Amino acid sequence: MFKSVLIANRGEIACRIARTAKRLGLRTIAVYSDADARSLHVRLCDEAAPIGPSPAAQSYLSIDRLISAAKSARAECIHPGYGFLSENADFAQACVDAGIAFVGPPVRAIRAMGLKDRAKALMEKAGVPVVPGYHGELQEPKFLKQKAYEIGYPVLIKAVAGGGGKGMRRVERHAEFDSALESAQREAKAAFGDGRVLIEKYVASPRHIELQIFADKQGNAIHLNERDCSLQRRHQKVIEEAPAPGMSKQLRTAMGAAAVAAAKAAGYVGAGTVEFIAEGANGLKTDRFWFMEMNTRLQVEHPVTEAITGLDLVEWQFRIAAGEKLPLSQPQVGLDGHAVEARLYAEDPERGFLPSTGRLIALQFPEAEGLRVDSGVETGDEVTPFYDPMIAKLIVHEKTRAAALDRLADALDRTVVVGPRNNAGFLAALCRAPGFRKGEFDTGFIDRNLNELGAAPRALDRAAAALGAQELLEQELVRLAAARETEPDRPPSPWDEVDAFQLSGARRLEVPVVVEDETLAAQVTYGPHGHTVVIDDNTPAQDAVVVTDQGGAYVVRNGHQTKVTLRDMALDEAGDQDKSGVVRAPMHGRVLSILVEQGARVTRGQRVAIIEAMKMEHTLVAPTDGIVADIAIGQDAQVAEGTKVMRIAQAQKSNE
């Protein structure tokens, strides 16, 4: 076994690897960018080395910096985690050249499976079923468009490199192909440095089912059962579970055999995931699944496999990289109960899942048997715009699927995230969605049910607002009482009194409060037993948690956050109130492209700019018909949430 490991990653996976490495007695070395200097993974490891500026391209994606850090720390091995350089053959080769063990597959296996087109050709030779499509070298747009027409719509455009939904577009009609191809190629080039794509037939009612495989250097290969990752949004996994609902023993055997054949065809060693697409319209069948790709690394969702098998997959990775044989044979692999994982992200489901950044004012998770939380952040940490916005993964293991979904929904309800917006309430709604619970779902389930799942603008939670206002008023009373204690010589004033005395009737007053961006009136009534607060006939919520910070109250109720502040009566109300023609950045990010010029005539809904944030592209559109009056920022500029990008002025009407 190794004595030391440099973890070439960050966040929750770096913390996850460090914990197992420490248990095995390895000295752990973290790396960090400027943005991560005080991050949890840095604090958790025995040592830490800086590797550059905040942008990943200048730090976590810098092979030279990582190898240099590993040499300086005398690390015997490097664990790449997932994402970043985990599937980069050049990085694996650099480790070998430096005499440092790479905790992952051989370079030749990464190269064989790293490009989807070559991987599919290899799978066809190995007898593994492959989705029909074009996987060739020719990339001329007209040729690809013709191939899409021959395959038949709908089709998927997929980047040949990378994964995670980057550079992937579903195209329903021939007329939409050109713009989808351009966008997919641009995103693939930015994410992976390779803009090449392939075209595949889109499978009706698709289920995304993957097999966890392991292989050793002695030529042995097994699978550790399947995971269902069909609940996705924009090709990003949201909830994963094991085993797959509706999976028969016969299909598990067939898919497992195909996955092992894929691993052996690639000369694989270590942990990997063979991903299949299965037609789910009429139930899963042994002749209706096809190979999609192989991820030559550990997956985000590996904890559900650990839960049902009782294994530590990171420990297996270390042992196999050190030359040990697989600990188990195929018949010895267990399958106990059901596990479900939810990815808690800093994003706003009510605003199109836009990434949300900022300080984590509070972060609290429930504790219970059968509940596991993997996180790379704590209260006080920052969610920055530089990396993936994952806050944590919540994993539940129960005897049955229904019990696991119930437990996970309850855990999400009791999770407290204050600061950045998050998807906890959305995830809980997914766990309770009737179709999902019945097993009637596919990869399009979320997109078809966004409104029912709460991913749409909703009315202010006035009961939560009343609770926040009540908390702020109580703090104000405490502050006044403390002020009297610190100023004993100040002449008394009847206006300082906080009791219920009034010459006629109950003492009532109206206090203006700001709830999110809306000003409301809180009716406060003082009585013999204290005061009560009501907002629009809503009394304070009883099933919520309140956290105060810097003069504001954050109320978390059923996974949703409501911010309340007392209105400053001296606030200048002048200002620019008419923003109907202003296009603003909806999140922190980089301006990828300005699509219009000053003076251009635009129509409402027309694409005017593209912002890149958290490795995803977001299109800004004109809010109204008019003329581009001014453009405030340029391409490649870094912008904060709310930054003015441009203004659309209404066109002057002709006098004729």
Instruction: Please list the active-site residues.
Output: 297
Do 221 and 263 form a contact (C-beta atoms < 8 A)? yes
Please, how many CA atoms are within 13 Å of residue 573, restricted to the half-sphere of its CB? Answer: 5
DSSP string, 573-619: --S----TTEEE-SSSEEEEEE-S-TT-EE-TT-EEEEEEETTEEEE
| Length of the chain measured in residues | 656
Sequence-ordered alpha helix ranges (H) in 193-312: 249-265, 302-309
Q: Could you tell me the CA-to-CA distances from 455 to 334, 445, 446, 448 in Å, in that order?
A: 38, 13, 10, 11
Q: 3-state secondary structure string, 112-150?
A: HHHCHHHHHHHHHHHCCCECCEECCCCCCHHHHHHHHHH
Residue 209 Cα to chain centre, angstroms = 20
> What angle do the packed helices 313-321 and 302-309 form, to 10 degrees?
100
582 vs 623: CA distance, rounded Å:
8
CA–CA dist 82, 500 (Å, integer): 61
CA distance 101 to 627: 59
CA distance 10 to 31: 7
- For 633, other C-beta atoms within 10 Å of its C-beta total 16
Q: How far apart are CA 463 and CA 470, in angstroms?
A: 11
